[in-house]
Amino acid sequence: SNMNLTATINKASNKKENYFTYEKYGIENGNYGIFERKKDSTTFIPKGSAIYVDKIINRIDTGEKFLMLHFYDSQGCKVKTTFPRKDLTETGIMALLGFGAQILKQDARALITSIMNQEPNAPYRLEHKKLGFSIYDGKTVFLARNAIGADSKYDGKLKIGKTGKYKKWNEMIKEEVIGNIPLEFILAVAGSGIFTDYLRDKVQVENVIVNLVGESSTGKSTAGLLLVSCGAKPTFQGNSLALNFSDTQNAILASIPSSYPVLIDEGSLCRYNPTSFLYNISSGKEKERLTKNLDKADASYFSTAIVTTSEKSLLSMADENSGLLVRVLEIENVVWTKSAESSDKIKNIISSNHGWLIPKLAEKILSVEREQGQEEIISKYYHFHKLLVENSKQQGHYNNLTERACKQYALILLSASFIEDVIGIRLHIDELINFIETHSPIKEENRVDIGQRALSYLMQYISEHYSQFCIEGDSADFVPKDCAGRITKVCPSTLIDGTPYSKRLYITNIKLTSILHAGQFPDIKVILKRWKEEGILKSEKDRYISDIQIVKEMPKVKGYMINMPEQEGHQ
């Protein structure tokens, strides 16, 4: 069904409160059936070979229950199966026929009831398939290979959890990572996913996305595998958190868990629009899908840190949209490892010693919450946010996107400060701030202002296709074959920011839209609004579009009047 039901489970009490049992149905001599009571005697009428409840599984992440059942088929073979309790219905139970159970339609009720009667005395165990923070028995717990704060085991396929020796991993961090700021940064990003998960509803943060851009010999993949090794097995073989862009978008989104850092390698293999993909992994929501019955499938959510690698910038392949600049920290032309030997050493050690950092951070977060409350972690987060914003003001890089981008960057610094604590090694936090600041895509004003980026693109288009425009002052009857617009001289004046202009472009709505679309500016309204604010677009007060004349003797058409600034390269 497409109803998204959720439930919470609390610990089992010894009192099986008011749990009703059906006296009339039961099991005797290896069969299930009905007890017929007469005045002074009871007769058991068997209906089929009994099905026994070995164990009840409580899923603490969703509240659902599963029954571990066993029975004997017609050859006397013991059959074991795990059955969703929600299928204990007269139609659902028929699925067991396929495994060899004995059920006639009219006896389904007797079988279901004989199973329910066994439940109060069946042992139970807690399991989870999701990862990350959850609430169990009214307390925050962390779902890992073995949950922290609850006696629950992971029942999924991902290769997560502590393996090998913590000491070996820790020594490798001391020798190969500390002092190499790019790898210290990767370590901090690896831990930032667990803080994204913990703080998501408390301070409205999105997933931390970092794209490493560069040639194949720069150590990008080693950096990515080091990141994955903080929570899971660093391998590209199945069920790992080292994914590949050659997978479909849905497959990638469905395999990302919460809290555990993920690598998506080889952006050059990306066959889909990187814009929507980057938005999807940033908001942490799988794409909506339909089930076989055309109901909406439950979309999974995830909150974590994701590192992608590519030889070309993903931001330059994406639409020209400011929203991605605050969501993706793209780092170009950095050599990640100290040397080829260092890279080999890191890979050797993490292949057999991994999965230690995330559980340690989880234990620390839960102990801080118990002893000092969530507020302690939230206020530490805001401390780093403020520090980063102040820093960009001092550097003269502050702009309208700074506060939003720093929400993501603050998670990385918060992670660094906790990592120092749990692994007992100092990181170079000032240098990490510097590293983030240096590579932040929002510090360049012209990248941030979508109006300026679109104007540069339009001016470049005019330079390249100058012969398509009617230029005023040319003989009045000269109209180029594919006329794209008209450029006229106007009284010299200045834009809002003081830039002089003395020419104006008249261009149709259709032509401007198609030019901007070709430059990957999908939302023309946003651009026209910025141009209007900056004095670039001339139009009537409450509108962007005007009636303009491009070719004399032709009727007026809908279009735009754009003042052409006189800057280098804009003539």
Percent of the chain residues topping a pLDDT of 70: 91
3-state SS class at 531? helix
What pLDDT, on a 0 to 100 scale, did the predictor assign at position 289?
A: 56
Q: What are the CA-CA distances from residue 396 to residues 61, 407, 443 (Å)?
A: 46, 19, 9
Q: What is the pLDDT of residue 225?
A: 97
Adjacency order of strands within the sheet including 124-128: 78-84, 65-72, 52-59, 124-128, 152-154
pTM: 0.77
Q: Rounded CA gap, 399 and 414, in Å?
A: 23
Residue bearing tokens 């089930």: 291
Taking residues 286-290, report their average pLDDT. 59
Residue for token pair 């012969």 = 467
Contact indicator for 255, 243 with CB cutoff of 8 Å: yes
Q: What is the pLDDT of residue 482?
A: 80
The Cα–Cα gap between 210 and 191 comes to 13
Q: 334 with 207: CB under 8 angstroms?
A: no
For residue range 500-520, what is the model confidence (pLDDT) as tens digits? 899 999 999 999 999 988 887
- Low-confidence winner among 298-312, 370-384, 415-429 (lowest mean pLDDT): 298-312
Quick check: 132 pLDDT over 80? Answer: yes
Is residue 199 helix, strand or coil? helix
Query: Residue 228, Cα to own-chain centre: how many angstroms?
Result: 15
43 φ/ψ angles, rounded to the nearest 5 degrees: -115, 135
Is 104 a residue whose pLDDT tops 50?
A: yes
What is the C-alpha separation between 24 and 436, in angstroms, rounded? Answer: 70
Element (H, E) at 501: strand 500-508
Write down the pLDDT at residue 496: 83
The first and second tokens of residue 259, run together, are: 């809290």
The tokens for 390 are 């102040």
| pLDDT over 60 at 366, yes or no | yes
Contact 139, 365 (CB under 8 A): no
Higher-confidence residue of 266 and 18: namely 266
pLDDT at site 534: 84
pLDDT tens readout for residues 174-232: 999 999 999 999 999 999 999 999 999 899 899 999 999 988 778 999 999 999 999 99
Give me Rg for the CA atoms of the chain: 32
Residues in the chain, total: 571
Quick: pLDDT tens for 28-87: 999 999 999 888 899 999 999 999 999 999 999 888 999 999 999 999 999 999 999 999
Which pLDDT belongs to residue 476?
53
567: Cβ–Cβ under 8 A, 6 or more apart, which residues? Answer: 499
Both structure tokens of 382: 């805001």
The sign one gets for the Cα dihedral 225, 416, 304, 407 is: negative
- pLDDT number for residue 475: 52
Is residue 132 within 8 A of residue 241, CB to CB? The reply is: no
pLDDT at site 543: 84
- Return the DSSP state at 354: B
Residue 1 scores a pLDDT above 90: no
DSSP state of 503: E
What is residue 135's three-state secondary structure? strand
* Better pLDDT: 268 or 483: 483
In which band, very low, low, confident or very high, does the pLDDT at 419 lie, cut at 50, 70 and 90?
A: very high
Left (φ > 0), alpha (ψ -120 to 50) or beta: where does 222 sit? Answer: alpha
- How close are the terminal C-alpha atoms of the chain, in Å? 62
Identify the residue whose tokens are 């050059």.
Answer: 268
Q: Report the share of the chain in percent with pLDDT over 90.
A: 60
Which pLDDT band holds residue 571 (cuts at 50, 70, 90)? Answer: very low
Q: Supply 19's token pair.
A: 């749990």
